[in-house]
Chains A and B, each alone.
Chain A
């Protein structure tokens, strides 16, 4: 496959529909998802029939103008939010209609999250933040601590383990978040503008880290961004507009 100087997959023109690959490899699969908000009486159609599928180990970025429904889509896919219509399957389990408690457990065991802000509890140290998902999953204190430190080591922050978030820089904080998102070996990591609050140097470093982890662990990454440079680093970019998928760009095929 050939790439242009900027890494854009020039051959693959945007397609009208990002249809689901029908093979069993698709870890995320959504069909005709609708979501409407009631914003003070007038309904806002945040998602108008979105269908997509993501393969296991794929790194997908979702891009589009502000307000087009990216965050909503991510939240719906990850089960943070319920959908009005449509079906979503994660690792073969249909999550719409699943009770909240079950969805929560599902997230705890199989997913990791990276948001733009407020990722960490300010009252806990870095390592304590990282080990939360493990403790939640019932892993013993000793083992949790070990694995959390390992995860911090992976993102290069072992020395900062006992610092509180307020004592860390923005980039460091996002790395701690990444460590937390990955500490329990989730199948899918969701990122909503994970670099949105960072300068470009830091943003690039974070993305490099994510890419590296994606390659090393074969975990699935779905990352919302409005930054072209960030979006390009994924295997594939899904373009959204007005609550619909406009098309997608494949930058490099999975496994290539």
Chain B
């Protein structure tokens, strides 16, 4: 991977290494200056094994997550890159023809004339970057292997100049050795691996290729590696290659006019990867050559004033895509993993707090006899850093293993798609992963150490709760000023420190110029800030000032991330500040403060984005990073809200279980302990809630999408989709089947509609007449003549290139009768969807369009600057009425004016969208006769088949393929395959997110273990006054279950709340929210059971406490 977050990864690596260096320097400093502190810190490590394991586990999480993210990215990059290179071989640049159809100027063409190839060959004849320029012909020709009884209708036959192809090794065999195409006899063919599999054919076998109903036998001479020039033209298609002469004689001059190429290939010099470096310059030169040739010979190159041929650096583009996909995945994994990282950080905080608690008396005495607080901090840091280093190493190894497992799972999911990932990792990624792990944990350890070292000596020695010594103070101007100053100086210091390399270089330069002061500037400023802040650290000041700062940045950049961070931090800061404040000697009740504050933060997250925008009269944008922020802030707020109101919850539980009788005292104590230990209860709830939030939110959104796109409604009313081409033309599926005598297949077919697809590269279209949206909004504003106000375009004035491209689909009445497409908007002049379809059925010049014509500012087929799709403010997204929209389709004599009277719903129209999911061209469905009028002959025909209720869709599809030798897709099966693919990917992501649950569970284990130690005497007393042993264990189990449930419940509630808001707000368009109870609930229940299993051991230990001993010792 070369880039992440738009930052070169190599730079990222050096930054990380630099920070690790700073961390190492801190440790080195402590080690050499105060070796005694290091020894005191390290002494604790072997003393408590279980603790060491847990701390290491928490610290490991961050490294594991980052390693998985990077290693998955690397694997993707390598796999996709290898696949791309393998599938392209010597194809570096590809020149193809724009199919501009329906123009009176020249006939629709399928190819590139020989002249163009000659021109380009001459152009690059002496160019040392170029090895060869040659033409390639592609045609879909059904194939059959009669001996094996296998047919493959989707077989791409390639024709190449055999001598040239052999010279450069354009086609290779499975082991990568070039195949000699010029040695093929006239009846020989090389088929690709996929074809060999599908047809069960090998060298020496005879396969038959069907052209317009008649078959020609070819002997398989060799198996070629799956690549574009062996007929694998994309998603793993079967195919074969032969000399262009044989190709020509097979297809005949009508289907394949001589002197025509489908594409022109340019192979760079230096083998398969040799020309990548010069790809950019070569691409520019090819484009320039095409333009120049166009000027010299416009009749051939630029009819209609539009460039007819375009060039693409195919290999370079695919490799770029590989990089992009890899970095997108890494980013995605990092986002999702950040929840686990956060949980890991909380775990460390918790464990350090526990450590501090445990060692409090000891540390108190150490402080009393003169140990500085700084010494304590250094001691904790050195202890933490040992865990840290160990954890980084373990984390990288575990992360790599996890990634390996994930790749295996992904391969399982991708199996159906013929794509396999190989596991890979680069040194750079390893360094970054380990480094980021160390940095995150170092920062965490430092913070935890500060907190752990903050103890009240008296409270510590007497081992009484710190809270009795909690400081509050009266707010004075001086105190505020000092804090504000502290924050700013610290910020400057931090900034200087972070840019240390820069500062150091600058310092070194200044030093050379005899300016010694500069060397000390950075640390000085930093230390000054630190000292001022440390004087009386007030995080709340930082929160408020930082919050305001972020808020203003967010507003300035119209960016939600800083805005929402700021907006959430400010209330937290204010609450924390007020909490310390005394008003007339009294503190504000904590419950009130925190309930109001956190409630407000949650409110901010649950209101629609529009409200935020309205308050500041601006627009705010954001991406997936907001989920991380939302999760963090909502969990923080929700946890605080719970923790400060635990007694109310506990009271409610007590009231509810009052009748349980003998269990009452157990339940009472089980609820009372977590309520009394807010910090650890809160931390544990937060950890569990964070992960649960991520899990539930992600699953819900993901499941809603797959429910929408892979649900039963998406098949448009048809179960099988068959394609016929001019090579093997089938006009009517049913007639064809009847002719073939396939009555069994015929009997399974209920209806078969026909859709003629126009040229792929589009027909030019232009809006000519439009009623403004106001016509709809204001219940038709009528002009003086009683007609809606129309805006007319002077068609003649609009240049061709300003016309928008569309794909036309001509549909017949059977199609209309069989379809179950939903229209998301219809013209205001029609009453219902069925009226719209009836209008098309009757052959009127009307059409329905896909919604990609509506969204994204597509300018209404261009031309007049009028954008009929961009609705005025008074029309909201739910508007289902269209104004009058007239478009002119096609050019010249073929032009037709058609009214758009409906917009096809994105979801139910998925299989109708002729341009596919990723395409940018809108699809128009209109009466078949009008379509033919505009486009001439269709480029191919789709048959949409609906089957009888007891028929099997796969059987029907196979029957059609077998009998008619055209390819047929089992849409129903396709949807099911997609569903199963999606659910395996979902499971993968769930597993990845769920890694963080380990932190939550470990936290439960930690606090349970600690409870057993801490409460020894209390357990003794309970046992003495009559608690049965198993009740004591049960009590602890109940307590942990209570915390686990609060965490799981909180996370789920927040996730569903946020998801509900997003869906209600229309963030995901028309997709409606679907909660995947079936996948989420088992995970939650599993987590709950795991938490019980984990606390079972401490609970058993508690139950086994011997009373006399418990009471005897401190």
Given pairs A72-B1108, A104-B1026, A123-B676, 5 additional interface contacts (CB within 8 A): A80-B1024, A104-B1029, A132-B665, A136-B1025, A136-B1027
Judge whether A215 is part of the interface by a CB distance below 8 angstroms: no
CA distance A132 to B1021 in the complex (A): 11
CA distance A113 to B997 in the complex (A): 43
Judge whether A17 is part of the interface by a CB distance below 8 angstroms: no
User: Which residues of A come within 8 Å of B, CB atoms?
Assistant: 71-72, 75, 78, 80-81, 100-101, 104-105, 107-109, 112-113, 115, 117-124, 128, 132-133, 135-138, 140-141, 166, 180, 192
Given A81-B1108, A141-B658, A166-B465, A135-B665 contact (CB < 8 Å)? yes
In the complex, the number of residue pairs spanning A and B with C-beta atoms less than 8 Å apart equals 88
Judge whether B1023 is part of the interface by a CB distance below 8 angstroms: yes
Judge whether B662 is part of the interface by a CB distance below 8 angstroms: yes
Question: Are B1111 and A128 in contact, with the CB atoms below 8 A?
Answer: no
Question: Are A121 and B1018 in contact, with the CB atoms below 8 A?
Answer: yes
**Chain A residues, CB < 8 A from B468:** 166
Judge whether B669 is part of the interface by a CB distance below 8 angstroms: yes
Question: Are A124 and B662 in contact, with the CB atoms below 8 A?
Answer: no
Which of B664, B673, B676, B1029 meets A135, CB within 8 Å? B664
CB distance from A47 to the nearest CB of B (A): 12
* A interface footprint on B999-1042 (CB within 8 Å = 1, 0 otherwise): 00000000000000000011011111111110000000000000
**Chain A residues, CB < 8 A from B1020:** 118
Which of B464, B661, B1108 meets A138, CB within 8 Å? B661
Question: Are A80 and B1108 in contact, with the CB atoms below 8 A?
Answer: yes
Question: Are B1018 and A118 in contact, with the CB atoms below 8 A?
Answer: yes
Which of B669, B675, B1025 meets A108, CB within 8 Å? B1025
Quick one: which of B617-670 are within 8 Å of A by CB?
658, 661-662, 664-665, 668-669
Which residue of chain B is the closest to A100 with respect to CB atoms? B1029
**Chain B residues, CB < 8 A from A78:** 1024
Question: Are A138 and B1025 in contact, with the CB atoms below 8 A?
Answer: no
B465, B676, B1025: residue with the most chain A Cβ atoms closer than 10 Å: B1025
Which residue of chain A is the closest to B665 with respect to CB atoms? A135
User: Which residues of B come within 8 Å of A, CB atoms?
Assistant: 464-465, 468, 658, 661-662, 664-665, 668-669, 672-673, 675-676, 1017-1018, 1020-1029, 1106-1108, 1111-1112
Which residue of chain B is the closest to A121 with respect to CB atoms? B1018
Question: Are A124 and B669 in contact, with the CB atoms below 8 A?
Answer: yes
CA distance A136 to B1021 in the complex (A): 13
Given A121-B669, A122-B676, A135-B665, A101-B1017 contact (CB < 8 Å)? no
A78, A80, A101, A124: residue with the most chain B Cβ atoms closer than 10 Å: A80
**Chain B residues, CB < 8 A from A121:** 669, 672, 1018, 1021-1022
Question: Are B672 and A133 in contact, with the CB atoms below 8 A?
Answer: no
Which residue of chain A is the closest to B654 with respect to CB atoms? A141
Which residue of chain B is the closest to A142 with respect to CB atoms? B658
Which of A72, A107, A120 meets B1024, CB within 8 Å? A107
CA distance A9 to B658 in the complex (A): 52
Which residue of chain A is the closest to B1030 with respect to CB atoms? A101
Given A71-B1112, A115-B1111, A128-B668, A133-B1025 contact (CB < 8 Å)? yes
CA distance A107 to B1028 in the complex (A): 10
CB distance from A183 to the nearest CB of B (A): 10
Which residue of chain A is the closest to B673 with respect to CB atoms? A123
Given A75-B1108, A166-B465, A115-B1021 contact (CB < 8 Å)? yes
Which of A72, A117, A119, A136 meets B662, CB within 8 Å? A136
**Chain B residues, CB < 8 A from A123:** 669, 672-673, 675-676
CB distance from A171 to the nearest CB of B (A): 17
Which residue of chain B is the closest to A72 with respect to CB atoms? B1108
CA distance A120 to B1021 in the complex (A): 8
**Chain A residues, CB < 8 A from B1112:** 71
12 A-B pairs within 8 Å (CB atoms) are namely A71-B1112, A72-B1108, A101-B1028, A107-B1025, A118-B1111, A119-B1021, A121-B1021, A122-B676, A123-B676, A132-B1025, A136-B1025, A138-B662
Which residue of chain A is the closest to B1114 with respect to CB atoms? A117
CA distance A119 to B1023 in the complex (A): 11
Which residue of chain B is the closest to A104 with respect to CB atoms? B1028
CA distance A31 to B1029 in the complex (A): 28
CB distance from B825 to the nearest CB of A (A): 62
Which residue of chain B is the closest to A113 with respect to CB atoms? B1024
CA distance A109 to B669 in the complex (A): 20
Which residue of chain B is the closest to A74 with respect to CB atoms? B1108
Question: Are B1107 and A81 in contact, with the CB atoms below 8 A?
Answer: yes
**Chain A residues, CB < 8 A from B1023:** 80, 104
CA distance A140 to B673 in the complex (A): 22
CA distance A119 to B665 in the complex (A): 16
**Chain A residues, CB < 8 A from B672:** 121, 123-124, 128
CB distance from A193 to the nearest CB of B (A): 11
CA distance A81 to B658 in the complex (A): 33
CA distance A250 to B256 in the complex (A): 127
Which residue of chain B is the closest to A164 with respect to CB atoms? B676
**Chain A residues, CB < 8 A from B669:** 121, 123-124
Which residue of chain B is the closest to A141 with respect to CB atoms? B658
CB distance from A98 to the nearest CB of B (A): 13
CA distance A210 to B936 in the complex (A): 111
Question: Are B668 and A118 in contact, with the CB atoms below 8 A?
Answer: no
Question: Are B668 and A135 in contact, with the CB atoms below 8 A?
Answer: yes
CA distance A82 to B668 in the complex (A): 30
CB distance from B1031 to the nearest CB of A (A): 8
CA distance A81 to B1109 in the complex (A): 9
Question: Are B1026 and A108 in contact, with the CB atoms below 8 A?
Answer: yes
CA distance A81 to B1108 in the complex (A): 6
Given A75-B1108, A104-B1027, A105-B1026, A118-B1021 contact (CB < 8 Å)? yes
CA distance A71 to B1024 in the complex (A): 14
CB distance from B926 to the nearest CB of A (A): 75
**Chain A residues, CB < 8 A from B1106:** 81
CA distance A101 to B1021 in the complex (A): 15
**Chain A residues, CB < 8 A from B673:** 123
Which of B664, B1017, B1026, B1108 meets A117, CB within 8 Å? B1017
CB distance from A105 to the nearest CB of B (A): 7
**Chain B residues, CB < 8 A from A119:** 1021
CB distance from A113 to the nearest CB of B (A): 5
Given A115-B1021, A118-B1111, A133-B1026 contact (CB < 8 Å)? yes
CA distance A132 to B665 in the complex (A): 6
**Chain A residues, CB < 8 A from B665:** 132, 135-136
**Chain B residues, CB < 8 A from A133:** 1025-1026
**Chain B residues, CB < 8 A from A75:** 1107-1108, 1111
CA distance A118 to B465 in the complex (A): 15
**Chain B residues, CB < 8 A from A180:** 1025
**Chain A residues, CB < 8 A from B676:** 122-123
CA distance A178 to B777 in the complex (A): 81
The 7 A-B residue pairs with the shortest CB-CB distance in the complex, in nearest-first order: A108-B1026, A118-B1017, A123-B676, A123-B672, A135-B665, A81-B1108, A80-B1107
Which residue of chain B is the closest to A106 with respect to CB atoms? B1026
**Chain B residues, CB < 8 A from A71:** 1108, 1112
**Chain A residues, CB < 8 A from B1026:** 104-105, 107-109, 133, 136-137
**Chain B residues, CB < 8 A from A112:** 1025
CA distance A123 to B681 in the complex (A): 14
**Chain A residues, CB < 8 A from B1022:** 121, 132
CB distance from B465 to the nearest CB of A (A): 7
CA distance A80 to B468 in the complex (A): 34
CB distance from B307 to the nearest CB of A (A): 80
**Chain B residues, CB < 8 A from A124:** 668-669, 672
CA distance A226 to B1024 in the complex (A): 22
CB distance from B1011 to the nearest CB of A (A): 11
CA distance A137 to B1024 in the complex (A): 14
Which residue of chain A is the closest to B1106 with respect to CB atoms? A81
CB distance from A254 to the nearest CB of B (A): 26
CB distance from A44 to the nearest CB of B (A): 13
CA distance A47 to B1106 in the complex (A): 18
CA distance A140 to B658 in the complex (A): 9
